[in-house]
A and B are shown apart, each in its own frame.
Chain A
Amino acid sequence: MKLASTILGKSTFTALRLLGRTGSAFPGLVVEKADSKYLADMLQQLPQGVIIVSGTNGKTTTTKLIVALLRAQGLRVLTNPTGSNFVRGIISAVVDKASWVGELAYDIAVFEQDEAHAVHFTRHVSPKGVVVLNIMRDQMDRFGEIDTTKRMLQKLVDAASSWVVLNANDERVGSLKVSTGVFRAWFGHDSGLQKLFLTDDQLYHGESVAFFEAHTPDVLLSRFTEKNITFHSNGSLQHYSYALQGSHNALNAAAAFTVLRQVIPDYDPEKAATAFAAVRPAFGRGEVVLLPNGQEVTLQLIKNPGGFTQALRMLELKPYDTVGIAINDDYPDGRDVSWLWDVSFSAIKTPVLCGGDRAADMANRLKYDEVGTAGVCSDLVAFVSEFNQLTNKNGGAAILYCTYTAMRRIRRLYLGTKSGLDEENI
């Protein structure tokens, strides 16, 4: 069946390419329909098993970091680069990377999965390792309640066969139950950094909510600057340089190093440092594009109140002279824009250019935090053109916060065809 299904999937890919279509989850769908055990059969071949990375925010960047760290140690790592969280997207990736006779020449797989898809995935395959980054409220019209989210992640953790890596500073993650015989490893941050990493309770109930630490972290984020990061692990301080932006990515890095320790306890630190320094931001996650005059525009995806709040902390780490926010309300963005009222914008000191289908909602939201508006432009082509003009006029660096579909469109406007296949990855 493995052989026949692989040929079926690969033939579908070939047919799609002949039609000029690429990067589709369609071959995965075809194979999933034909052979429900395909994924389990194929992934069983991997000697080091499968790692699932889940949680509300940070999945893509953390997955990217884990893949880079493991590859630098010589492992052959399969991942879901086309970024589809759907199981059929992963099947597509497997079909694409398998040989025509159904062999997977990889040692280990690392997949990012949102909560709902992760549960679905575990019905096919039991992961060896599971990483839970955080449990924040997402847009409620998409995933329902935060307690439902926690229940889904509990199912994922229950499915782990060997180890789990958990965020020690997130109350909900810390209270996930782990089966006996499954090893728990923790990442976290120094209590002095609490203001930079608000949990859901701190976000909604004020920063007075006490610092939480479920367990002493195996990899502790001690401090970081824009370019350097220090972990405390194994009783010593470890210094690294890195090219990611934002405090959230510093904590994602702590998670990735915890996974590295778990998979390869005696890893080569120098190779890890080199690989880590070379990781660039994932698409639309602090990704920097350059204007013709060399000015930097940072593109930052925003999906939910916790992520947006965290991403606004970027304004404290580095000065941005121009700030834009593009809000769409298509299904992937969340149809309900109420969540913008769960984010505080008071830290923005410059008038904001608002774009997207719900630009007017955003401008209205800013009004009630007494933040000025530099313009309101629902059409994204006009918005980007106006944003670039404003950036030129203001000088210095610019940052553009965008919801999912706005980001897809805006990346294409900046990068043209270079945005290519991987835009599905946001």
Chain B
Amino acid sequence: MTKGQRAKGKGHSTSATYHLPSTTYQLTIVHLYPREMNIYGDTGNRLVLQKRAEWRGIDVQIKLVGVGDPIPDEADIIVGGGGQDAGQGKIQDDLQEKAETLHQMAEAGVVMLMICGMYQLFGRSFTTHEGEVIQGIGVLPLETVGGHKRMIGNTIYQTPFGEIVGYENHSGVTKLDNPAMAFGTVVKGSGNNGQDGTEGCRIQNVFGTYSHGPVLVKNPAFSDELLRLALSRRYGDAKLKSLDNTMELSAHAIASERPR
């Protein structure tokens, strides 16, 4: 990747931890369906990305994209949350209209983080336990079937970005085409289906997970990896200034010891 297409001037620091000439960098974070798909505090993921970028001097634009709104071309990160059945019903048709754009953006390496309900809809299909098939957009190679057992409680997953703590609450049983595409493996909890030990899915820079919590708030390494991927795509290989993560890691440590 080439550096600095949007960067004004050089200004690259020689510091080992800080290669970004702060104020010249910009990130656009898109929140997809903030009205319809926003239960369990998933909006916190957007806030965490925004603040962790701003605390490093990066200029952040937040764009709320609802039903009928176009996804801005300049999107660097797209986040989507869990929803209620009613919310999922309201967005289904609109999501199909956005499918092609989202596929192209995923191909182009745009960072996406989809939680629970949106994670399911990023797969190919969701079959309810009444047998109704809801079409997904198939960005992620997986299918979900509504189950009768609620998978609920505190979770720990092992991922390439370290241990991730969160909280799951779903009855959808998700099967990946290939378990190697999982985002992580289950240490505590049910993950994708309560059977094969996989949790979530990653294709390109698209991440899907069942983890609420919200997932980014106590897992700063994952948050920073999303920011790094987004900045690298736009500006070339990026390294992030380190932040004080004492509070995040302390909350992480306590959450990992709470009963299921």
Contacts and interface: CB of A to CB of B under 8 A. Distances in A.
Contacts of B258: 329, 335, 357
A335 B154 contact: yes
A140 B251 CA distance: 21
B251 A361 contact: yes
Interface residues of B, number: 33
B48 interface: yes
A38 B245 CA distance: 58
A35 interface: no
A356 to B, nearest CB: 10
A360 B42 CA distance: 19
Interface in A116-161: 137, 140-141, 145-147
B222 interface: no
Contacts, number: 88
A420 to B, nearest CB: 30
A141 B254 contact: no
A336 B251 contact: no
A205 interface: yes
Contact of A141 (B35, B86, B152): B152
A37 to B, nearest CB: 32
A368 B218 CA distance: 12
A361 B249 CA distance: 10
B169 A141 contact: yes
Contact of B44 (A141, A341, A370, A373): A341
A365 interface: yes
B84 A147 contact: yes
A368 B40 contact: no
Nearest to B255: A361
B167 interface: yes
Contacts of A370: 51
B136 to A, nearest CB: 20
Interface centre among A146, A205, A337, A363 (most CB of B within 10 A): A337
Nearest to B48: A368
29 contacts: A141-B169, A145-B84, A145-B85, A145-B86, A147-B84, A147-B85, A147-B86, A205-B34, A205-B35, A305-B41, A329-B258, A335-B154, A335-B258, A336-B40, A338-B40, A338-B213, A339-B40, A341-B43, A341-B47, A341-B214, A358-B251, A361-B217, A361-B254, A363-B251, A364-B247, A364-B248, A365-B217, A367-B247, A368-B217
Interface of B: 34-35, 38-44, 47-48, 51, 84-86, 152-154, 167, 169, 212-214, 217-218, 247-248, 250-251, 253-255, 258
